[in-house]
Amino acid sequence: MKPASSRLWRIALWFAALLACVLVIVQTRFVADLSAFLPKAPNARQQMLVEQLRDGIIARLIMVGIEGADAPERARLSRALAGHLRSDKAFVGVQNGEAEVLARDQAYFFNNRYLLSNNVTAQRFTAQGLHEAISASVDALSGNAGLMLKHLLPHDPTAETLGLIENFSSESQPRSVEGVWASRDGARALLLIQTSAAGSDTDGQAAAVAAIRQAFAQLHPQAGARLVMSGAGVLSVSSRQTIESEVSRLALAGTLLIVCLLLVVYRSVRLLILGLLPVASGALVGIAAVSLGFGEVHGLTLGFGTTLIGEAVDYSIYLFIQRAGGRSLANFWHIIKLGVLTSIVGFAALLCSGFPGLAQLGLYSISGLVAAALVTRFILPELLPENLHLRDLSGPGRILEKLANQSSRLRPLLLIVLVASAGWLWHKGDAIWNRQLNSLSPVSQADQQLDAALRADMGAPDMRYMVAFTAADHEMALQGAEKLGSALRELADRQVIGSFNSPAFVLPSQAAQHARQAALPDAATLRRNLDEGLQGLPIRAERLQGFIDDVQATRVRPLLTRADLDGTSSSLLADSLLVRRAHDYLVLMPLGSSGVGAHGDVIDTAEVERVLKGADVKGATVIDLLDETTNLYAGYLHDASMLAAWGGLAIVILLLVSLRSLPRALSVSAPLLCAVLSVAALHVLGSHQMTILHLVGLLLVAAVGSNYALFFDSGAQGSTQAQRRQTLVSLVVANCTTVASFGLLGFSQVPILSAIGSTVGPGAFLALVFSAILARKVKPDGYSD
Amino acid sequence: MTANKILQKLCVSMLFCVLPALVQAADWQVSDLMRLLAQTKSGHATFVEKKYIGIVDKPVESSGDLFFTTPDKLEKRTLKPHAESMILDGKRLIIDRAGKKRLNLDLGDYPEAAAFVDSIRGTLAGDFTALDKIYTLTLHGTATQWQLILQPRYSRMSDIIRRIAIQGSKGDISRIDFDMADGDRSEMSVTKVAVQQ
């Protein structure tokens, strides 16, 4: 027994540390959004994409569908909901295809046609230019669109308005049923809502979603009418809910499971509480460490904490059972130390991960495990009763020993499993990896399908290809978009691309507007040119007085600014394609593919890039989103493979150095390798492709499983039969807690948790079984062969 | 003018150009005429259309081919002065103009235009019930020189078009006149192309 003062000091220090952790934790911000599991992008272009995904206007759009009831009721609900939300400050814009907004759009194009139209040049208003434009309009009168033209002709004989509308409207706009937007099959009324809150502001998004639901409920919808919603914000709100409910559910279930298990084994509440002390200390230290290291703690980190319970409780299990068995503790602590070290090496790989969320898990696990091990080593023995009375476990011990002794007969079977697993993985090759970034998304399959359906209904452009650049100010951004627009028009003429969109379509730069204003002739000149230009055409000049008046009015009017777009649906286009950021403006110009040829949906980005270079817009680049995200994820998978390989190697080196024997290091590593390979093969066999998180899980199998292999190894190192039995019992109990806690994660709906759980749970079990099978045989006299 | 109205008018104006012929007519009773019209399963004709539009001093002229297949497929191929194609298939209206984006409309979204379409198809198919829902029908003249007048029953239609007059001689439609509510007019003369059986 040590001096009482030393004992007191230790316990005081422990209390002080826990208190400090609690102080840190109460001031910690807990988050549950998805950004932590969006990788930190390695290059500027990908960083921009991630930012856009998170903060851009696209992330602020909520797509709303109203289903059920009948079409008139859906239209009524759509109108009423839009009216209600338009008066709510939480929403910047609400569009549902109502006639008044469409009318505002048309009026915007008609009233501002001479500032907006690309065709407005001095040449257009010469006698010859007018003659050409007007005779084209007269020809068009004879065609199918004649009726539409004839109303515009007196004011707009050069047909600028129609040109603008054709430019603006796409083939894929939502259809209209009962005067409001509807899905293609007409069964769902549609609204597009822009929130004031940023997409990354999950609380703000949650409030917006709740406000929409509440507004809808207040409209007394007819029976059967229901509201569906999607969009980046909606999805992050729902995944946060999923994560929050999962985390509390898992934590509760994990704790209960382990408490029950330990009660069965210990049959002592006191031992149970003592056994949970390292776990609780570890959890507190882990959360505090993450809080200090990252400034916030992700909900998933807490969810992952249940696995820490399973791992950290092992130490006290080993301590209690083996001490009760009278085992020499010096050797015991050595094994625990080695076990903790190998686990740390495994979790350290997470720490280096490009996903901030995974890095959090790494730090949490390392600090938590170290704290749990330290508490088990230095605090628990002080609190244990002098004579530890544990229920007699020699019965199960004998059975386990028998099993363990006979298990070596299974070695040929293990060899078959090993060869089959390795062969199967080799055969599958690269196909064992899932390369889709959204395989990590906690968004459920049903929600993803709804999102895709609403997106298609909305005619939302496929944002696969876009041209992007940044500019110092608003005007430079628009001028850049105009320069690129000329280059893109050339590409569209050559059918390299099918179409493109530009913020300058609805809001030209001041310079361009100024140039157009300057191109418009004065009244006398215009009249003269018109008289001359109308020669030979069946229209008399006096019928076109409205045209002359409108041109004159445009010459002296103020130029268009962003404020002029308010209330039109073009405002949304302008804001989503011209994004104001902290220090600059980001311009996005989506490209549509030409649809021509065998690969009509693919754009030759190299050719686009080449032509863009000639447009002299600094930093303009074409992005293939599909390519970028695939590359991004492939990069992570590659990094993770490297980390896992280094982590595995580090574990082997660690074992080699600690055990100072190559055969022993190999005999400890072999069952781990077998476990990793067979779990991977099982996953692939179950037709689950593995993600980056499965890879992380495999590394954890090695890290966690090393404890079992080490104890089997030490068991072979000259201990008595009673001790060996005791060791076996403690190993099986510890394994049960680990398998249970990780296994629970495996049932989670959150892919990040279920991937790790479903890998480590079975992996830990197999590691124990394989360790037993591969353990070197122990002769009855206690010497290994 | 709202986009809906513009499209509405677009549809209606385009359909005026389609209504023509490809049908044969008999005389006297509307029901006799309808029975005869119902016998035509498909047809091909040429057209020359003159539009008298207030702002333009001379009529603007276009010409081309018309095709009809029962029950609901109509195609108008304008050749002069510019190539255009307009296909009406069920409720879908597709317009292709040289150098312009394809226009693809669902007539279900435009009830007035749909009513108009149904009455045109009603005429071509000889469906009296469908026509009678939207128009009052009056038949003048003799079997060799008949004229069928269609006048909209409801203001939503009559705000756009005042009346449609179809002239025929025995089994052939020779001319269709559209009188618009704003005073503009369209005359389309139709010549049946003999189909090689």
Q: Which amino acid is at A197?
A: A
Percent of chain A at pLDDT exceeding 70: 89
Close Cβ partners of A679 (under 8 Å, ≥ 6 residues apart): A697, A698, A701, A759, A762, A763, A766
Q: How far apart are CA A260 and CA B8, in angstroms?
A: 73
The ipTM assigned to this model is: 0.73
Q: Do A139 and B184 touch (CB under 8 A)?
A: no
* Alpha carbons B44 and B19: distance in angstroms, whole number: 13
Binned at pLDDT 50, 70 and 90, residue A482 comes out as very high
Q: Check B82 against A139: CB less than 8 A apart.
A: yes
Distance from CA of A358 to the nearest CA of B (A): 49
| Closest chain A residue to the Cα of B7, Cα to Cα | A148
pLDDT at B21: 36
Q: Which residues of A touch B (CB under 8 A)?
A: 99, 102-103, 105-106, 138-148, 150-151, 153-154, 166, 170-171, 175-177, 179, 186, 538-540, 543
How many Å apart are CA A176 and CA B108, to the nearest integer?
9
Contact A60, A198 (CB under 8 A): yes
- Is the confidence at residue A211, as pLDDT, over 90? yes
User: Average pLDDT, stretch A704-713?
Assistant: 81
Q: DSSP for A597-627, please give it.
A: STTTT---HHHHHHHHHTTT-TT-EEEEHHH
| Amino acid letter, residue A467 | V
**Averaged over A52-69, what is the pLDDT?**
80
Q: What angle do CA B175, B181, B182 make, to 5 degrees?
A: 110
Token couple for A531: 């008289």
List C-alpha distances in Å: A603 to A436, A539, A547, A608, A624: 21, 45, 41, 8, 9
Core vs surface per residue A138-151: b (16+ CB within 10 A) or e: bebbbbbbbbbbbe
Residue contact B10–A148, C-beta within 8 A? yes
Taking only the tens place, the pLDDT of each residue in A721-753 is 777 777 788 888 888 888 888 888 888 877 778
Residue A134: closest C-alpha in chain B: B56
CB contact under 8 A, A539 and B56: yes
Residue A510 has pLDDT above 50, yes or no: yes
Question: Which residues of B fall below an 8 Å CB-CB distance to A?
Answer: 1-4, 6, 9-10, 12-14, 17, 49, 51, 53-58, 60-62, 76, 78, 81-82, 84, 86, 95, 97, 100-104, 106, 108-109, 184
Cβ of A102 within 8 Å of Cβ of B60? The answer is no
Q: Which residue has the higher pLDDT, A22 or A318?
A: A22
Which residues does residue B189 pair with via DSSP β-bridges, in sequence order?
B48, B175
Would you say B92 and B104 are in contact if contact means Cβ atoms under 8 Å apart?
yes
Looking at chain A, which residue has its C-alpha nearest residue B96? A144
Q: Where are the alpha helices (DSSP H) in A202-296?
A: 202-217, 232-266, 269-294
Q: How close does chain B come to A450, measured CA to CA in Å? A: 24
β-strand pairing of A30-31 with A297-298:
parallel
Nearest Cα of chain A lies from the Cα of B144 at a distance, in angstroms, of: 31
What average pLDDT score do residues A41-60 get?
A: 66
* Contact in structure between A376 and A314 (CB atoms under 8 Å): no
Q: Which residue has the higher pLDDT, A174 or A437?
A: A174
Report d(CA A126, CA A527) in Å as an integer: 10
Q: Beta strand B145-152 with B135-142: parallel, antiparallel or unpaired?
A: antiparallel
Substitution target in B55, B92, B110 with the highest count of A β-carbons within 10 Å is: B55
Inspect the interface and report whether the beta carbons of A148 and B13 lie closer than 8 Å: yes
CB pairs under 8 A between A and B: 98
Interacting residues of A388 by C-beta distance below 8 A, sequence separation 6+: A320, A323, A324
pLDDT at A716: 56
Question: pLDDT tens across B37-80, in order?
Answer: 777 777 788 999 898 888 888 888 889 998 888 777 888 898 88
Taking residues A412-425, report their average pLDDT: 86
What's the pLDDT tens digit per position in A135-154?
888 888 877 666 667 888 88
For B55, the closest of A105, A139, A150 (CB atoms) is A150
Q: What percent of chain A has pLDDT over 90?
A: 20
Predicted pLDDT of residue A147: 64
Rounded CA-CA distance A142/A289 in Å is 77
Q: Do A144 and B2 touch (CB under 8 A)?
A: no
Taken in order of first residue, the domains within chain B and their CATH numbers are: 3-192 (2.50.20.10)
Judge: A148–B53 Cβ closer than 8 Å, yes or no: no
